[in-house]
Amino acid sequence: MAKTVMILGAYGLIGSACTRALLAQGHRVIGVGRNLAATRHLPDSVQWMIRDLAQMDQADWARDLQGVDAVVNCAGALQDGLRDSLTAIHADMPTRLAAALTGRDTLLVQVSAAGVSPVAPTEFMRSKAKGDAAIMRSAPHWVILRPTLVLSPAAYGGTALLRASAALPFAHFRALSGARVQTVHVDDVAGAVVMAVNGALPNGLMADLTEGRVHDFDDLQRRMRAWLGLPEWRNAIRVPAWMLGVTARIADGLGWLGWRSPLRSTALESLRAGVVGDATTWPGPPCRSLTQTLNDLPSTQQERWFAHLYLLLPLSIGVLSLFWLLSGIIGLVQAGTASEVLTARGFTANWATGFVLTGGIVDIALGLGLLIRRFARRAALGTIAVSLAYIVGAAVFAPDLWLDPLGPMVKVLPGIALSAIVALLVSDR
């Protein structure tokens, strides 16, 4: 019998897999998320509610849940940041949702995480545990599924980091040696959600979704590298703990600018603690082993391109931002010298100074904009527009600069190409 299913976070890695699986079963799906643009990769048959889940109160849930037979909660965040609050999305939201379900026959399927606990080493795990506890306490009908590291054809978060680290050239950088990890195919998670919605799982079930075998993180990287079709590393370099800590703190700082780096301290601390579960708690069909999962995932040129580009993108953004910031700062500091370039070509002193000061401010604004996630794409496009304006201006007012032996104008062209690459690649999904 077809049901109406509401999926929270329906365009995410797990949410989109659940959406497609439920649609394939003939169910009607209502997707809930806060970003309409992120919904475009899913079928048109999904009905969307654009909501900020962290801001919804019990009355909002009571209104939106009318006619809904099951709710699947795939919403989540890795760490507190500019756009995310772990307490709000993992604890407060499920608490209000569960309270709104009181007296209803609606099933709540919570996609949590293996190893969550009130005393876990990360706030991610502790906040997830609070949400799970609220659901068990208040929701009349619930199933809680706790997957380990989810592998998927789509690459996002931890799965993207695993691909990228496996594709590093020259040497195997061993940063998390000894970390214990289990995996699960995203379709096995989606299949478990479908079973719950179809009534094939008992009410009150809490189960880990995972393969049976535990892997060392180094071994997992090597297996992923072989899956990508890349040759074995000839050298290995052990990354000291302090360097990993510095990297995590930098990634945490970028998180407050909107960048959801999988290198943030929460992800690294979770890997150190181990991403493992108990496969015997799951009463359904066994989840695929790592070997089966990799056999079932596509491994083509696009996977290799992604793995290489994933780490090059932040490097490209950093280089572009530094270039435009330095360009603006130097222009303002050396405003007099820069103005002479224009006055020597017929501009009045006032016009020359105005152009130099305006250009410096614009350059700095673009450099800062590249560092903030929500403005990064527009800033990259802005650098292209400003670069083209510089090229046209030089061609009209200072064509001799094109013949300068240091090539100041020629060097603008590769910058435009790099900005175009960043503008195309900087996206959430």
The more confidently predicted of residues 259 and 415 is 415
Q: What is the pLDDT of residues 387-411, one digit of tens each?
A: 999 888 878 777 777 777 766 778 8
pLDDT band, residue 385 (cuts 50/70/90): very high
Q: Which pTM value belongs to this model?
A: 0.85
Q: Determine the average pLDDT of the residues in 71-83.
A: 80
User: Is the confidence at residue 33, as pLDDT, over 70?
Assistant: yes
pLDDT on residue 222: 94
pLDDT on residue 20: 96
pLDDT on residue 398: 75
User: Is the confidence at residue 342, as pLDDT, over 90?
Assistant: no
pLDDT on residue 252: 74
Q: Which long-range contacts (CB under 8 A, 24 or more apart) does 300-306 make?
A: 303/155, 303/163, 303/228, 304/167, 304/228, 304/229, 304/230, 306/155, 306/160, 306/163
How far apart are the C-alpha atoms of 61 and 89, rounded to whole Å?
14
User: Is the confidence at residue 315, as pLDDT, over 60?
Assistant: yes
Could you give all domains of the chain from N- to C-terminal order, each with its CATH number?
4-299 (3.40.50.720), 313-425 (no CATH)
Strand, helix or coil for residue 106: coil
pLDDT on residue 80: 66
Bridge-based pairing state of the strands 4-8 and 70-73: parallel
Percent residues over pLDDT 90 in the chain: 55
Q: In the Cβ-directed half-sphere of 326, how many Cα atoms lie within 13 Å?
A: 6
Q: How far is CA 180 from each of CA 197, 232, 287, rounded to the nearest angstrom?
A: 32, 21, 18
User: Is the confidence at residue 386, as pLDDT, over 90?
Assistant: yes
Is residue 55 within 8 A of residue 32, CB to CB? The reply is no
Q: What is the DSSP letter of 275?
A: B
Q: What are the DSSP calls for 36-100, one per residue?
A: GGGGTTS-TT-EEEE--GGG--HHHHHHHTTT-SEEEE----SS--SS--HIIIIIIHHHHHHHH
Average pLDDT, rounded, for the chain: 89
Q: What is the pLDDT of residues 254-272, one digit of tens each?
A: 777 777 666 677 777 777 7
How far apart are the C-alpha atoms of 150 and 79, rounded to whole Å?
18
pLDDT on residue 206: 97
pLDDT on residue 369: 96
Q: What is the pLDDT of residues 182-223, one digit of tens each?
A: 999 999 999 999 999 999 999 999 999 999 999 999 999 999
Q: Determine the average pLDDT of the residues in 227-246.
A: 88
Q: Determine the average pLDDT of the residues in 282-310.
A: 93
Q: Determine the average pLDDT of the residues in 170-176.
A: 86
Percent residues over pLDDT 70 in the chain: 96
**Which residue type occupies 306?**
F
E strand or H helix at 255? helix 241-255
119: which 2 tokens?
Answer: 């005393």
pLDDT on residue 159: 79
